[in-house]
């Protein structure tokens, strides 16, 4: 975490986001507040000893606060003893995006780009249903993550993942003119849209776990149902809805990866492969980012237990995906 | 096939069902009709040489006909040379059920029993949605098979399979009072209902193949969508609908067997096990029926390639399931 | 654990079962006794400081004792400092069943029910061999658990599991009259009987681990050998013995689950499915019992890593299996 | 097949073994005998036209006969039209071993070598039980094949396979002195002994299929039961019997290859690996024998679908295993 | 196959390629030539009765010939009875490309495009080794197929597959600037280059089978060895060679698909996914080309046994990949 | 670890090998050296408090030292407080072999035996290439381990493993004269030779991890490349090199165990089975060595999670492999 030193006695100051907050009783019977604070660079344990609500105020997870205190080591880890704490004020001019891992692009910008592609489809039915669903779910889409724990589990990750796939689609359609471009792109836009009902996400854009519906129905069958309903509502034919539903039901490729069906036509097959490709790129870049050059990672559970290698070739830019 | 000899020169006669019918040209340039005829006991190839539509009439698959002709061997198989053929008349007093493998019970009787269980549910939501869907799909349910090629691929097989599971449910609920009986039974009634959209079935009750929707969506996601729509229409709560949808999505148990989700609560788990149990019993009984006592079948592809054994203990009744 | 407070200074008293008992030396060179005490509701660590055999008596695992002492916290867990301890006396009127997880029904009652079914078989050979083996193993059967760690790992669990399957068998035989009821039930009675040689079990009815024979031979091949021997001894034909041996060898269904053979006839197939069904019901009920309504469990290793859901429908009774 | 020409009109003569024999009716209503004749080099279809029992005699599978007739082609294959046929006479001086694929060594010689190893064991229990079982099953062992269709499916194959493993054991024990040589060799002698009850084998030494016991119990559990019984009969301790039983139950190594248990001690593990090694050598040599040098076989189903290569290095001897 | 009728008695004429050619003897003892003739549209069996080398000439597989004869049916298939046959003459102005399935682009054009990319690499080592190997293998690359039986098993298929992947690489590099573009593209150019030693291919560009080296070494280890040798010869560093060798060894992704290693850095992972994507597109387009709209294919063995669907949306162009 | 007591106050002395060495700062700001010391029997944590380079000297992992100090317990483990430390002197007359787990035989002796077999090959090509490679890699072979963590991960383990396989080869060749003995043995000598480039190994003969080449190329493809290069250098034919390369590429047997190809000829198949057999023997002996008789090990991850049993039969010698 980033702290600003404010004197030469170890006193520091920072804006930060509360990730967890528990009121506890010490062995002497006093109250203290046990906090996990975070910013984009990491997190730290913090304590407010002799905590009193009237004096310090009340706090909860997902609150933005300003804290001052002193740093020390406890069992090998940094810990902050908080002397002063207060909620962030409008005049502080800080926003939640600054404190959680977020897409490099703003949700609005990504949404606009995706929406304008949908809105320019020549195929009336595909245009109607994608525009309708993007508008219906706009509020959540603007900041929703793409996962609880895996790839793109960051604020704005859902649109980032969607947009990356749409860009890959362009390359694929140039290589293979036989591909039905608008069907492929409509499928890409809708394939994960039911993730907006799969996790519980606070306004920070970080998922805290799966919803009951996410666990029992999932975003594949859930997405197909959602298209089924929307297509009735906006008069899209059963044939077109069925193609999109199949793409959503099959986009995990194999049953062992959660697919309800194996993809059966070219655009469905391409969507499932591009979905996997973008997820893999994210996870590989994320896992190798902290490595030194010519170093190997540990075994990656989500990548068949393989180790990853960071080769030592010079790279033009050290950017993260975009 | 059953034929009635009508003279001592090998002439025979029979009512039968046309399974396949092709008009072909012989090497000499004459037309002939190449037919597959069937009754409950099997099928036979038949030919009408020098076929003329005006003389013999026009025929198609699924027609019931009366034929007369002579039997001979062709490349090791029986073949019928047809001399006379005509469509079945009302006065013949024969029905299609007599010519296809059918459930021992009539569709009406099985439907009544299932419907009365649904109609007696104490839980208003479960009663509402099961009654609504049984009524909506009644026409097809009365004769629909449960499969294109596997277990219960017979006229009326869908209701027979459903009813067998309901009876198993009773035994299970007696053993384990903790089970939510009405939820389990409602799930059993609806688990395969989308099979009514999964195959193409003629009035004979025999499936001729999968429909496009059957291939692309399947009866699991298809069934969940159908419950989703119906529950909106008849005001059933999202919570109840979600439990039933989960039971339908998960009733194949494992992803490798086509389940969209693994079953996650007791009633869903029981449903998937009873579904498998009933399917297995059908296939085992069907496969061992033609065996002699103390004989083994060949390797059964659908049963992990195992061989089946018909032991030689005396059995009270030689009946088929019921 | 349940303790009875006996004053207002934190002194408590309880009857309990010793699960583990070690004599140790403190850093000062004094002896102390390090104990794990348990009752049906849980367990606790306990210490007797300055332990002397002559003063406190000698103790070992599986002893029932009465203790008095004071409770405190040590590293987050409760701990009992014992002041007084003595073995349970006949006059205390407590039995080991009260201190370990047990079947709701007594061993005697379950044994009687199973024995009377066996004794009423019409088939002489099946009656002879089941009665003989139930009698031979009666002593152990009355309290034996069905597992070291998995389903029914409780006092009396072996008979409870057997009896549950027998009740399921009744429901199955009603649904499918073609099933050879007595063969199925005889197989159910004998399928796990060699578990009496598979674990080491103290008089408490809790297994402490696998026996050498359990590890090297197992209860499938072990059960078949036991039937082989008994059938010679009581004159049962090789044919009947072979059918029962096959049922025992195959009741785990698939080689990957430990089956020596895949089940090859209807009764063997049914037995393996009902065995799995009863085990699954036990594990699901056991795993969801501590959950709140509308809550999910963690991933269950023994159930393909799935999470389990406790739905929030009202249930008539909150009972545990029976 | 080997035929002796006896004139220059294509008439030939041979001794041979009848593999299959069916009396059939020709299209003209005459009887003919449809035979499959064989010797070590292959087999041929043969016909006796206008067959009459009184004239030609009666014949059945496994009979040795002398035939005379003319060779022709039928649908690409050789066929023999038989003019004369008679059973083999003692004066013909031919034996069944000359007409079926057999081990290079006689059954007696292999039996003697194996028996003398068993009889020289220092360990009294291992000597007692191996000698007892070799004597009990001697009659069958002398000519029994080791398989119905896979490796060593030849007359005498069971002893050949056993002896090969015993020779490999010698090499292994020299390399690793820690191995318990007599335990390993006793296990090798008994590991397949229950194959004598697993197939139906005529006096020719060729298996015609699995027995009921072979299908339902198999030679692993069957072998363990057989040792269990024999050890009681000849007073061998339960501990020694258990080790041998474990070796038999586990010698297929993995459950997916039919093992009832995985091998758990060094000698059991070695036995399972040497068993596989000898089976593999047999199948590889058998499959590559007909190939040209630098040629590949087709894909071998029993060897993970791999192709086998016959390299073109000169080999000292072109012998088959021994 | 395309034939030109040249009279009204069924006489036809065609240029074609001989795929197979056997001299056989008829049942009457006459010689005849049994041929398989082919062009791009298919193949046909043909016979030259009373064949004489002096009269008709000598022919072999892969010869281009002009034939005249009459068509008839034999067992349901077309057959050509050849009256006249002669080798193609320069004046006929036909080339082998016209008679085998070929890439739409010429080998020269594809080679030039790939070579110019290699030649423009900024990285000196990657430019050196790719240019060197493209030049060394140029002759074969110009017409080599990419497979014996699977995707791109057509004349020029190896370059077509390589070029398609290079185009996909461009799209991927635009989406993810972090990718080392030249390393990825160099890997794409070399990943299949050892296929030039994996099959036996005639001048027609059709593989007739695997070479010994193809079977024993394969194009993964073979490609790595080839890079190892070439990098020594042209002074490329061991580090650069090692990265390319890893990409070649790992490009099948998973061991079960033939990968020697799993890909461990971003460019290797991308290469393996794009390789699979291009192969899949080829196979899907190839399999659905002959289908009607709204029709399903049979189960595709190479695509996890799934069926493929040809949807009925209008497509701009009905072209085959390019 | 072995320590020599040198007074009655707990002072001890020992020669030992430094496995790890870190200079750290105490909470009071003083330097101390945190060491892991080892000999053949185990390892211990040690501290030099108030460490000063000028006083105590500088140390690093893999140094041999003599230490004196006092033993105490820290959190349940032994710890050594070092009072005096110095590097080993020539006059101490100790060698690194005494402090690490090593093969019972010296590297020189094993090398000589293997080299003399190679040098006596009748086949000139096999003699040339095996002699050349044994000489080229002699320096490393003399002490190299066969693994980083698995079987034969001891000083000299690579030659010990190679020699054990060569001895097994002798036994196999006696049993099956058809085996090409020199090809099999040459393959055995070279199969793991590229392990000399697969790990980083200090002069102690213990691997500290995989090299970059080991991770990216591995010892299978690496070994094939090495033979490819060497065979060019010493004029061995491509055919002979190809057979050896195939044996190296395939010696792990199955793709899932890392094989680049499945072994396709007899000697390659035998090599892979003997390689596995020797590895298994090592691991079983190693895992059961610390067990009591009639005791089971825990589940062995590297042996399919099975438990191992140490039976209680008397064994002539309690030796470790040789």
Predicted TM-score of the model (pTM): 0.90
pLDDT band at B170 (very low <50, low <70, confident <90, very high): very high
Decide: F261 and E217 in contact? Cβ < 8 Å.
yes
Return the pLDDT at B76. 66
Q: Which of B175, B266, B318 comes nearest C284 by C-beta? A: B266
pLDDT at D318 over 50: no
For chain C, the C-alpha Rg in angstroms (whole number) is 23
Structure tokens at B215: 């291939």
Q: Torsions phi, psi of E56, nearest 5?
A: -95, -20
- Residue-level length of chain E: 322
pLDDT band at D123 (very low <50, low <70, confident <90, very high): very high
Query: pLDDT tens-digit profile of A205-247?
Result: 888 899 999 999 999 999 999 999 999 999 999 999 999 999 9
Q: Which of D218, D225, D246 comes nearest C225 by C-beta? A: D225
Query: pLDDT tens-digit profile of F202-219?
Result: 888 889 899 999 999 999
Decide: F228 and F240 in contact? Cβ < 8 Å.
no
Are B216 and E309 in contact (CB < 8 Å)? yes
- The C-alpha angle with vertex D300 and arms to D299 and D302, in degrees rounded to 5, equals 150
Structure tokens at B31: 């037309």
Return the pLDDT at E303. 85
- The chains in contact with chain D, meaning 3 or more Cβ pairs closer than 8 Å, are B, C, E, F
Q: What is the C-alpha separation between A231 and A125, in angstroms, rounded? A: 9
Mean per-residue pLDDT of chain C? 91
F99 versus A262: the higher-pLDDT residue is A262
Q: What is the C-alpha separation between F43 and F101, in angstroms, rounded? A: 12
Query: pLDDT tens-digit profile of E50-91?
Result: 999 888 999 998 899 999 999 887 766 788 999 999 999 999
Query: pLDDT tens-digit profile of A26-73?
Result: 767 788 999 999 988 888 999 999 999 888 999 998 899 999 999 887
Q: What is the C-alpha separation between F45 and F83, in angstroms, rounded? A: 14
Q: Which residues of B touch D216 (CB under 8 A)?
A: 309
pLDDT at C66 over 80: yes
- Asked whether F and B share 3 or more beta-carbon pairs under 8 angstroms, the answer is no
Query: pLDDT tens-digit profile of F45-83?
Result: 999 999 998 889 999 988 999 999 998 877 667 889 999
Are C224 and D242 in contact (CB < 8 Å)? no
From B230's Cα to the closest Cα of chain A, the distance in A is 11
Q: Torsions phi, psi of F243, nearest 5?
A: -65, -45
Query: pLDDT tens-digit profile of F213-250?
Result: 999 999 999 999 999 999 999 999 999 999 999 999 99
E318 versus D267: the higher-pLDDT residue is D267
Are C217 and D242 in contact (CB < 8 Å)? yes
Are C309 and B264 in contact (CB < 8 Å)? yes
- The chains in contact with chain C, meaning 3 or more Cβ pairs closer than 8 Å, are A, B, D, F
- Asked whether C and E share 3 or more beta-carbon pairs under 8 angstroms, the answer is no
Q: What is the C-alpha separation between E213 and E19, in angstroms, rounded? A: 24
pLDDT band at C8 (very low <50, low <70, confident <90, very high): confident
Q: Picking from B305-319, D189-203, F172-186, which range would have the lowest pLDDT averaged per residue?
A: B305-319
Q: Which residues of F touch D171 (CB under 8 A)?
A: 167-168, 170-172, 174-175
pLDDT band at E26 (very low <50, low <70, confident <90, very high): confident
Structure tokens at E237: 């560093």
| Three-state SS at F56 | helix
* Mean pLDDT (whole number) for B269-297: 94
Are E312 and A276 in contact (CB < 8 Å)? no
* Mean pLDDT (whole number) for D111-139: 97
For chains A and C, CB pairs below 8 A equal 8
Which of B167, B15, B10, B194 minimizes the C-alpha distance to B100? B15
Decide: B21 and B61 in contact? Cβ < 8 Å.
yes
F157, F163, F168, F169: CA torsion to nearest 10: 130
A 10 A CB-CB count for C72 gives 11
Are A215 and C307 in contact (CB < 8 Å)? yes
Q: Which residues of A touch C309 (CB under 8 A)?
A: 212, 215-216
Q: Which residues of E touch D307 (CB under 8 A)?
A: 215
The secondary structure element, H or E, covering residue E288 is helix E266-288
Query: pLDDT tens-digit profile of A82-100?
Result: 999 999 999 999 988 888 8
Decide: A310 and A316 in contact? Cβ < 8 Å.
no
Alpha helices per DSSP H over chain D: 53-56, 107-119, 124-136, 138-141, 157-175, 181-190, 212-216, 218-233, 238-250, 266-288
Residue with tokens 């339908």: B248
Share of chain B above pLDDT 90, in %: 70
Return the pLDDT at A76. 65
Return the pLDDT at D98. 86
User: Kind of pairing, strands B77-87 and B42-49?
Assistant: parallel
B76: left (phi over 0), alpha (psi -120 to 50) or beta: left
pLDDT band at A190 (very low <50, low <70, confident <90, very high): very high
Q: Residue D316 class from Cβ within 10 Å (0-12 exposed, 13-18 middle, 19+ buried)?
A: exposed
pLDDT band at A25 (very low <50, low <70, confident <90, very high): confident
Q: What is the C-alpha separation between D313 and F268, in angstroms, rounded? A: 14
Return the pLDDT at A156. 94
Mean per-residue pLDDT of chain E? 91
Q: What is the C-alpha separation between B142 and B288, in angstroms, rounded? A: 28
| Three-state SS at F290 | coil
Q: Picking from A100-109, D234-243, F308-317, which range would have the lowest pLDDT averaged per residue?
A: F308-317
Are C218 and D242 in contact (CB < 8 Å)? no
pLDDT at D83 over 60: yes
Alpha helices per DSSP H over F206-298: 212-216, 218-233, 238-250, 266-288
Q: Which residues of F touch A307 (CB under 8 A)?
A: 215
Residues 6 or more apart whose Cβ sits within 8 Å of residue A160: A103, A104, A105, A110, A146, A152, A154, A321
From F215's Cα to the closest Cα of chain A, the distance in A is 8
Q: Torsions phi, psi of D298, nearest 5?
A: -70, 180
pLDDT at C3 over 50: yes
Q: What is the C-alpha separation between D19 and D100, in angstroms, rounded? A: 10
From C114's Cα to the closest Cα of chain F, the distance in A is 35
Alpha helices per DSSP H over chain C: 53-56, 107-119, 124-136, 138-141, 157-175, 181-190, 212-216, 218-233, 238-250, 266-288
Return the pLDDT at F76. 66
pLDDT band at A136 (very low <50, low <70, confident <90, very high): very high
pLDDT at E185 over 90: yes
């Amino acid at each position: 975490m980033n702290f600003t030193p404010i004197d030469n006695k170890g006193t520091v100051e920072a804006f930060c986001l509360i990730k967890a907050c528990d009121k506890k009783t010490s062995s002497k019977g006093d109250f203290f507040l046990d906090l996990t604070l975070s910013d984009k660079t990491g997190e730290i344990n913090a304590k407010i000893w002799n905590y009193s609500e009237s004096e310090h105020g009340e706090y909860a997870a997902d609150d933005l606060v300003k804290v001052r205190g002193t740093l020390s080591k406890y069992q090998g880890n940094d810990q902050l003893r908080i002397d002063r704490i207060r909620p962030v004020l409008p005049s502080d001019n800080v926003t939640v995006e600054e404190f959680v891992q977020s897409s490099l692009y703003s949700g609005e910008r990504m949404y606009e780009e995706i929406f304008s592609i949908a809105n320019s489809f020549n195929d009336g039915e595909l245009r109607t249903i994608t525009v309708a669903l993007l508008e219906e779910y706009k509020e959540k889409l603007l900041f929703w993550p793409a996962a609880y724990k895996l790839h793109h589990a960051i604020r704005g990750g859902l649109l980032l993942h969607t947009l990356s796939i749409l860009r890959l689609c362009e390359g694929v359609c140039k290589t293979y003119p036989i591909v039905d471009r608008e069907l492929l792109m409509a499928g890409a836009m809708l394939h994960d849209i039911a993730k907006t009902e799969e996790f519980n996400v606070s306004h920070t854009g970080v998922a805290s776990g799966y919803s009951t519906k996410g666990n029992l129905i999932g975003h594949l069958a859930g997405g197909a149902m959602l298209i089924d309903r929307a297509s009735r509502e906006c008069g899209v034919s059963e044939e077109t809805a069925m193609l999109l539903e199949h793409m959503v039901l099959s986009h995990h490729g194999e049953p062992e990866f959660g697919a309800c069906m194996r993809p059966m036509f070219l655009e469905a097959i391409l969507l499932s492969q591009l979905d996997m490709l973008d997820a893999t790129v994210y996870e590989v870049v994320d896992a190798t980012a902290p490595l030194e050059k010519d170093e190997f990672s540990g075994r990656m559970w989500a990548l068949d237990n393989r180790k990853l290698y960071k080769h030592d070739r010079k790279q033009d830019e050290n950017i993260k995906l975009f």
